[in-house]
Structure 1
Amino acid sequence: MNAMLICDSNMIIRAVDSRYPGASHDSFVWNVSNARQYFLQEYENGDRSSRLLGDSGYGIEPFMLTPYRDPQYASQQYKFNNAHSSARNIIERTIGVLKSRFRCLQRTLHYQPKKVVKIVNVCCALHNICRQYNVEWNENANLTTSENFHEDTFMLQTSNMQNEGRRIRDEIANSL
């Protein structure tokens, strides 16, 4: 299973999509997700301030910022990548806490795909409830992440969206 999660800075899971098998590429899951459709619609309706941070497995868009590939040391792009990585750390921690709380997510779930989707969705909902009510989790647990860093992305977005995403990323990098 390849689950896509979106979280906020408080480790609240805002979106989850676990409908696709593990061989599905991150960019494919993103491109067919309701979350992307939502952000695309918001962008087309004039929202120019919402941003998601994705790893290199995603394509760049105005609302999905990805790191630069191979930036020169100490350049603005290098600084951007460091800030980007630092900010993206929250999803890594969220996934780690989720898997620590619900250990069934650390291994293959041997159920029908529809049932696996329900299990993942319920675990995410329960995680959010735990966050809301400050239910503790075992910090010493063996944390793992589901992040897979892919160098290649599927280019399903239009070049205009990619160019706008690059422009926004460059603008942020140049302000650092």
Structure 2
Amino acid sequence: MNAMLICDSNMIIRAVDSRYPGASHDSFVWNVSNARQYFLQEYENGDRSSRLLGDSGYARNIIERTIGVLKSRFRCLQRTLHYQPKKVVKIVNVCCALHNICRQYNVEWNENANLTTSENFHEDTFMLQTSNMQNEGRRIRDEIANSL
């Protein structure tokens, strides 16, 4: 799977496109992306102030850190997902959405955090720190799971 991610300087994922097989070239994924179409349309409508940094040292640094946090939070993304492509796209999108929720609520991922462990504890699951956030996280998770 070849995924294109766009993030901001706070590691919030602003766009994700994981619809294409791994053999797809990066330029192909960009050329057919909704993000490219959006920026082209904005430019044609007179927007000359928006910028998308790509392939510079700083941009690579922030996107690589974002992908690293995403993959450490959701370890299923570190390996091949043996599902139909449409399901893989949903999994990647949900992981990105949950990552953004964690960023919004300042829930940092710490591999050494005190996580509840049991034989049934899935490696991709993490506990939020306060009971209010735990309840909200469970509600959001259940809502996403029910939509799949």
Distance 2:131 2:105 in 1: 44
Encode CA deviations 1:13-45: one digit per residue, 9 max, x unaligned: 000000000010111001000010000000111
Superposition deviation, residue 171 in structure 1:
48
Give unpaired runs (5+ residues) of structure 1: 59-86
How many residues are aligned here? 148
Q: Which runs of 5+ in 2 are unaligned?
A: none
- Root-mean-square deviation (CA, aligned residues, Å) is 18.3
Is the CA contact (8 Å cut-off) linking 1:105 and 1:120 kept in structure 2? yes
Identity %: 100
Secondary structure in structure 2 of the residue aligned to 1:164: helix
Could you state the TM-score of these two structures normalised by the residue count of structure 2?
Answer: 0.72
Going from structure 1 to structure 2, the CA distance change for 1:17 and 1:152 (only over 3 Å counts) comes to same
1:159: how far off?
A: 56
* Cα pair distance change 1:151/1:38, threshold 3 Å: farther
Deviation at 1:138, TM superposition (A): 2.2
Q: Tell me: CA distance 1:144–1:52, structure 2 relative to 1, closer, same or farther (3 Å).
A: farther
Q: Pick closer, same or farther for the CA change 1:21–1:122 going to 2, 3 Å.
A: same
Closer/same/farther in 2, CA of residues 57 and 170 from structure 1, 3 Å limit: farther
Give the direction of change, closer, same or farther, for the CA distance of 1:96–1:152 in structure 2 (3 Å limit). closer
Cα gap change, 1:123/1:104 in structure 2, threshold over 3 Å: closer, same or farther? same
TM-score between both structures, scaled by the size of structure 1 = 0.61
Measure, in 1, the Cα distance between the counterparts of 2:126 and 2:133.
14
Q: 1:122 aligns to what SS in structure 2?
A: helix
